[in-house]
Structure 1
Amino acid sequence: MDDLITYLAMDRRFALAGGYALADRTHGAALFVDISGFTPLTEALVRELGPQRGAEELTRYLNLVYDAVIDELHRYGGSVIAFAGDAITCWLDGNDGERAVACALAMQRAMQPFAAITTAAGSTVTLAMKAAVAAGAARRFVVGDPTQRVIDALAGETLVRLANAEHQAQRGEVVVDEVVLAQLADRLLLLEKRHDATNGQTIGVVQGFASAHAVEALAAPWPPLAGSSLTQAQVRVWLLPAVYERLRRGLGNFLAELRPTVALFVRFTGIDYDHDDAAGQKLDAYIRWVQSTVARYEGTLIDLNIGDKGSYLYINFGAPLAHEDNADRAAAVALLLRARPQELAYIEPIQIGISQGQMRAGAYGGTYHRTYGVLGDEVNMAARLMMAAEPGQILLSESARRSLSQRFAVQNLPPIRVKG
């Protein structure tokens, strides 16, 4: 059971064990952590060791890095709410941002051993982390069909400010939004302030605390919680069925592998997370419908993330279930998602991006918190195509278009430049 509960947020584990619900409306600090450098590390390891051994060695590094980072998060009483590729969104409940900033600084220290990784063949790759902190009110939801997977979701204006701050952060930095900046003005040492003219927000780049001992003094670690504190019935709904079955049968975690898959990203809007008391029910209804639609074509809803420019779904075809016609399945689902039913009319026209290629699939995250993910450059491409799409439009990469059967009509568009 210990392996199973690592797929749940830490505060969710304690809530389930204690028989209480986490509040729908809450207040605290959100922490976004993004680690860069895994793509060149992947390329170096695959070049040196081949696809299979390279993917396995990459997972070893991923687990080492996330172990170090998430250990610090748990030491400061935080919880991982969601992975988004190589990034994690975290929540520290009831905090004005001070403990979250201390946690982020501790994470940066924990990253120092990974600043330069030298592979067995002598290649050197640099890993770096950037972190952003925002504080304020948030909504906390549990959404999804229990037969597919239920998902922890964090939403609201605080997450919008978090995303805006993160966009201004650079490698190696810890930044805070204007709310935290005002609340902790006399306690933080700043390297500089930055103003974003597009949204009018100012962030602070943190050097440390005015008190030299503040970082360690603010630690508030979670107490131990054995996996036996939860029942399998409580835990299984939080895992993808394929992941749960593998762990239940004692087969260990998914072996990392590089495999051809198709990534589909959906951007949706239309839910007022801050002011609509029914926001959780609306999100739940939409996610359940998406899961049902995706399941008909044996795809997998990998991630739900809510940020500054809407809400995002990442759906994959090819992992963990492999098919020969992944692109056709993705295109069929995209068309169905675009034609939402009348009861979901509050969802505004969606934007969709689809791409195909070799991606690394498997469980990652380390000892303290894990997820099942499918990552790679084509995942990033699908996300960028989603952002470039007009409402109601489905954009495909050239690799995905080439794999489609003739039963789909495709309009060729002029080349577009995507970010990154």
Structure 2
Amino acid sequence: MPAFDLIPALAAYIPRDRVANLIDDTPLTRDGVAMIADISGFTPLTEALTHGLSADQGAEELTRALASVFTPLIAEVHRFGGSVIKFGGDALIVWFGREKRVRKTAVSHRAVTAAWRMQKAIGIHGNIPTPIGTVTLKMKVGMAYGPVERFNLGLASVGYEDVLAGETLDQMADAEHHAEPGDIMLDEATMALAGKRVSIDEMRDGYGAMGRLNIAARPKPWPELTWEAETAVSLAEQLAAYVPQSIYETLLTGRNEVAELKPVVSLFVQFHGIDYDADPEVAHKLQTFFSQSQRVVARYNGRLNRLITGDKGSLLHIIFGAPRSVEEQEERAVRCALDLQAECGSMPFIAMQRIGVTAGRVFAGPVGSPNRHDYTTMGDTINLSARLMQNAADNQVLLEAPVREQLDDSFDLTDLGSIRVKGKSMPIAVFAAIGVHRAERMKHRVVHLFGRERETAV
């Protein structure tokens, strides 16, 4: 595909404000409204749309249903000048940045208007007909106004990760935790800036449940992407650094990634020890940790799917088997987890890590709208790996039984019995991965990079 035609396809995988920054040096904003829109109902939707269908048919039906929901939601975000920073499976993390000489009240007004219209949109588009009846999707929204840290992390050879971090993101997450499906929860700063433009129905631990939008903001849509023909090749190269290599290779052929229902191994890694607000070395430390994590994951042909920051522990999500299938996925994943503990968990600024590993069939493919999407995975297996991570002890790798069954005697494992986790009616058998027998273990040179790599850009 010519570079000129490749640019829109690449840009769709990147937050809209980052694209503007790369194309015409539009500054990235440092304060504004952070929003998380968490959609519930995707697990029963997946089950309903794949019931009695082949893997290809199920994936096609699910792709169509997801697009019918995410397209109008993302359209409202972009209509009011927001950027979808990250797809967290069944959630969107959105940023409404305040440009210079724009009032805080103006950006807050646009953000709450977008949230209100998003709730209206999912009320219209969230009733999905399936072969076994209608599945209703609902959404809860958390919003917070304040400063953020913006990081451009990782290795160009693997792919950059665009990350928001800081106390404002923690406030956003806490607001969402106080929400019920259908709610829009605002922190105190957003409520104060919105003023009488919104009504608040109820207060919950300092967060306000928005009752209605009294005055809607005027749209401020992003302009159409434009660039000079002579810059197309260099611009495509810059954008490609934010897109996983396997996806970039597919786009070069003029095709898009195809959604699939396929077996994968999912790892969630929780790590503690990085202070995103007060540590002047935070960018350097995070870059050191993340880039080494990328190296470890690439060593075993996995994909580091995303990084989500938080004061109660930040998360890495890693996938084996999507987009590209690999042999011996379970063994690769567990070896990767053990190496992450040895090489990243032992860095002097990392207090501890917890890892959960599960295996099963999931939806894997592009999720979003035509002009903003990402390759992600969704399903019960993904959710369970996060639950195992939460139940793991400090510096422990916790596996479910289907992963354990695919490992040979070269692994040192401990049977921990059964535990109960949220979302499961029956106990889950779990095992701790302790190590790999030295004679069987792949040979690596372990190098700690603290003090040698600096944060790239911004």
Q: TM-score, normalised by structure 2?
A: 0.85
Q: Is contact 1:71–1:368 with CA below 8 Å preserved after alignment?
A: no
Match for 1:244: what amino acid? Y
Is 1:164 aligned to residue 174 of structure 2?
Answer: yes
Q: How far does the alpha carbon of each residue in 1:379-420 deviate from its partner, in whole angstroms, 9 at most, with x for none?
A: 110011111112101111122122222211111113222223
Q: Secondary structure at the match of 2:413?
A: coil
Q: Give distance in 2, aligned partners of 1:122 and 1:388.
A: 34
Residue identity opposite 1:401 in structure 2: R
Aligned counterpart, 1:220: 220
* Corresponding residue number in structure 2 for 1:323: 326
Q: Is the contact made by 1:7 and 1:239 (CA closer than 8 Å) also made in structure 2? A: yes
Q: Does the CA-based 8 Å contact 1:161-1:308 persist in structure 2?
A: no
Match of 2:437 in 1: none
Matched-pair contact (CA < 8 Å) for 2:69–2:126: no
Alignment of 1:91-102 (within 5 A): 91-94=95-98, 95=104, 97-102=108-113
Shift of 1:171: 1.0
Question: Map of 1:272-291 to 2, 5 A cutoff?
Answer: 272-291=275-294
Q: Does 1:17 align with 2:23?
A: yes
Cα distance, 1:308 vs. partner?
4.4
Q: Distance in 1 between matches of 2:76 and 2:193?
A: 23
Structure 1 unaligned blocks of 5 or more:
196-201
Q: Secondary structure at the match of 1:350?
A: strand
Q: Is the Cα–Cα contact under 8 Å of residues 81 and 152 in structure 1 kept in the other structure?
A: yes
SS of 1:403's equivalent in the other structure is coil
**Once the 2 structures are TM-superposed, how far is the Cα of residue 343 of structure 1 from its aligned partner?**
8.6
Q: Does 1:116 align with 2:119?
A: no
SS of 1:264 mapped into structure 2: strand
Which of 137, 140, 158 in structure 2 is aligned with 1:148? Answer: 158
Query: Structure 2 unaligned runs (5+)?
Result: 1-5, 99-103, 424-458
- CA separation in 2, counterparts of 1:383 and 1:115? 25
Deviations 1:252-307 (A, max 9, x none): 22111111110001011211111122211211111110000111100100111113
Amino acid at match of 1:110: A
Q: Residue 183 of structure 2 aligns with which residue?
A: 173
The answer (yes or no) to whether the contact 2:357–2:385 under 8 Å persists in 1 is: yes
Match of 2:149 in 1: 139
User: Aligned equivalents of 1:254 and 1:342: distance in 2?
Assistant: 33
Letter in 2 for 1:243: I
Amino acid at match of 1:224: E
- Retained in 1: the 8 A contact 2:116–2:213? no
Which digits, 9 at most, give the CA deviation of each residue in 1:1-27, with x for residues without a partner? 21111011000111111135536xx11
- Check 1:277–1:221 CA distance in 2 against 1; reply closer, same or farther (3 A cut): same
Distance in 2, matches of 1:22 and 1:340, equals 32
- 1:8-47 to structure 2, matched below 5 A, reads 8-19=14-25, 22=28, 26-47=30-51
Cα distance between partner residues in 2 of 1:386 and 1:218: 43
Aligned ranges 1:51-70 → 2 under 5 Å: 51-70=55-74
The answer to whether 1:388 aligns with 2:391 is yes
Say if 1:225 and 1:379 are closer, same or farther in 2 by CA, change over 3 A.
same
Q: CA RMSD in A?
A: 1.8
| 2:97 matches 1:86 | no
- The corresponding residue for 1:412 is 415
Q: CA deviation at 1:342?
A: 9.4
User: Aligned partners of 2:34, 2:186: CA distance in 1, in Å?
Assistant: 10
Rounded Cα–Cα distance in structure 1 between residues aligned with 2:308 and 2:405 = 29
Q: Cα gap change, 1:308/1:102 in structure 2, threshold over 3 Å: closer, same or farther?
A: farther
CA–CA distance in 1 between the matches of 2:219 and 2:143? Answer: 16
Asked if the contact 2:35/2:141 (under 8 Å) is kept, the reply is: yes
The alpha-carbon distance between structure 1 residues 60 and 115, as it changes in their structure 2 partners (threshold 3 A), is: closer
State the one-letter code of the partner of 1:35. I
Q: Which residues in structure 2 correspond to 1:220-369 (within 5 Å)?
A: 220-226=220-226, 231-250=235-254, 252-340=255-343, 344-369=347-372
Task: Report the 3-state secondary structure (helix = DSSP H, G, I; strand = E; otherwise coil) of the residue aligned with 2:58.
Answer: helix
C-alpha displacement of 1:183: 3.5
* Cα pair distance change 1:124/1:152, threshold 3 Å: same
How far is the alpha carbon of 1:341 from its aligned partner? 6.0
